[in-house]
Amino acid sequence: MSIKDLARRAVRALTPYQSARRIGGQGNVWLNANEAPLAYPFIIDPARLNRYPECQPPAVIAAYAAYAGVADEQVLVSRGADEAIELLIRTFCEAGQDQILICPPTYGMYAISAETCGVGIVEVPLTAARQPDWPEIKSRLSDVKLVFLCSPNNPTGDLVGREGLNELLEAASDRALIVVDEAYIEFCPEASVVDLLARFPNLVVTRTLSKAFALAGIRCGFTLAAGEVIALLSKVIAPYPIPDPVAQIAAEALSAKGLTLMQERVRELNAQKARLKAELAALPCVTEIFEDKGNFVLVRFDDGARVFAAMKEAGIILRDFSSKPGLNDSVRITVGYRGEMDAVVNVLRDIR
Ligand SMILES: *Cc1c(COP(=O)(O)O)cnc(C)c1O
């Protein structure tokens, strides 16, 4: 018997998430993980580093609640939104029995977390208009505990339609939780569904500091939900999930000054996104530009593999989605600063 045979069956069968970091690459222009292009300095106070941190640092909770417009008891802070996804599954799904529902193509961690936890996955693909297939999702509600929707959707950039979501929340009342992943919502804040929390106790919204806040390195995310849901998640979360330096940085990023900086960054990146899209639209090798509500643009080329290889050659690392259903020849470009976007366009111009 080998050590491998000791592992759980679900773990033996698991293909780990192919994160941008794991795939790696060689280059100097990193546009493959939807990160912000620049880091900002923070000063850490070491006075409490000998102590265990608070499970839910009150300053961080209060700051995020104020920013999101909800009550403190509706907020949970975790090790990135990824931990929030896993906590939801571990809290609400019985291993070997329950299922989650996902709408591919979408963010990969919903399925990976379910598989690691031994929880089943019901796939209801997006429609041709790249919207959740509302009637089909409703017809599967009795089979699932959690429905994961992503808005803006990674990697297609589409928003989830509000009317459909409203009706789904009603249909799922007392049957399933509807999770809306708003990792990119700062790039189109008007599209947030957080206001619906006041009407629907079965709505859960996940957020992160990894994208618009330029803090992917500290691993800090949030769950917004009814107090009852947050209380259940709090039973499952680790006793000290948020390192004290992370809490200090998060609180500063959520201060008035931090929020202003974030909004300036969003304005600049959205402007660069508009420029990039205009350039792409004029290029003969581009066959489709997907929605652009996040800090990334998914682009279909006449020959996606060729574009990906040419970029790699030029030291520009992008993310290839061509193996995903319906996304043949599609490559996702994270929006960076002007020089990075110019570098991308220059390579594309040279492709014949
Ligand atoms: C990046 C991303 C996350 C992960 O956020 P972390 O806080 O860095 O764990 C979650 N959901 C989506 C859709 C993402 O793109």
pLDDT of residue 152: 98
265 alpha carbon, distance to own chain's centre: 18
pLDDT of 200 > 70? The answer is yes
pLDDT of 128 > 70? The answer is yes
Q: Is the CB of 210 under 6 A from ligand 1?
A: yes
Ordered DSSP codes for 12-38: HTPPPP--HHHH----SEE-SS---S-
Residue-wise pLDDT for 158-180, tens only, equals 999 999 999 999 999 999 999 99
Mean pLDDT of the residues in the chain: 95
Q: Is the CB of 241 under 6 A from ligand 1?
A: no
pLDDT of residue 221: 98
For ligand 1, the distance from its centroid to the CA atom of residue 50, given in whole angstroms, is 30
For ligand 1, the distance from its centroid to the CA atom of residue 218, given in whole angstroms, is 13
Pocket test for ligand 1, best of 208, 209, 224, 293 (most atoms within 8 A of CB): 208
Minimum CA distance residue for ligand 1 atom 7:
80
In which band, very low, low, confident or very high, does the pLDDT at 185 lie, cut at 50, 70 and 90? very high
In which band, very low, low, confident or very high, does the pLDDT at 13 lie, cut at 50, 70 and 90? confident
pLDDT of 236 > 70? The answer is yes
For ligand 1, the distance from its centroid to the CA atom of residue 210, given in whole angstroms, is 7
In which band, very low, low, confident or very high, does the pLDDT at 208 lie, cut at 50, 70 and 90? very high
Mean pLDDT in residue range 86-105: 97
Mean pLDDT in residue range 185-192: 98
Q: Is the CB of 223 under 6 A from ligand 1?
A: no
Calculate what percentage of the chain has a pLDDT beyond 90.
Answer: 91
User: Which string of b and e fits 19-47 if b means at least 16 CB within 10 Å?
Assistant: ebeeeeeebebbbbbbbbbeeeeeeeeee
Q: At what angle do helices 338-350 and 256-281 cross, to 10 degrees?
A: 20
Q: Is the CB of 86 under 6 A from ligand 1?
A: no
In which band, very low, low, confident or very high, does the pLDDT at 99 lie, cut at 50, 70 and 90? very high
263 alpha carbon, distance to own chain's centre: 19
Q: Which of 245, 255, 180 has its CA nearest to residue 217?
A: 245
pLDDT of residue 14: 83
pLDDT of residue 24: 66
| Widest CA span in the chain | 60
Pocket test for ligand 1, best of 17, 60, 102, 109 (most atoms within 8 A of CB): 109
- Evaluate whether 102 touches 111 at the Cβ level (below 8 Å): yes
- Evaluate whether 337 touches 38 at the Cβ level (below 8 Å): yes
pLDDT of residue 351: 86
Whole-structure pTM value: 0.96
pLDDT of 314 > 80? The answer is yes
Q: Lowest-confidence range among 14-23, 30-39, 98-107, 329-338? A: 14-23
Domains and CATH numbers, the chain: 3-38+258-350 (3.90.1150.10), 58-255 (3.40.640.10)
For ligand 1, the distance from its centroid to the CA atom of residue 108, given in whole angstroms, is 10
For ligand 1, the distance from its centroid to the CA atom of residue 71, given in whole angstroms, is 23
Q: 204 forms bridges with which residues in the sheet?
A: 179, 225
Locate all alpha helices (DSSP H) within the chain, ordered by sequence: 3-6, 9-12, 20-23, 58-68, 80-92, 109-116, 134-139, 162-171, 227-236, 244-253, 256-281, 304-313, 338-350
Pocket test for ligand 1, best of 211, 295, 298 (most atoms within 8 A of CB): 211
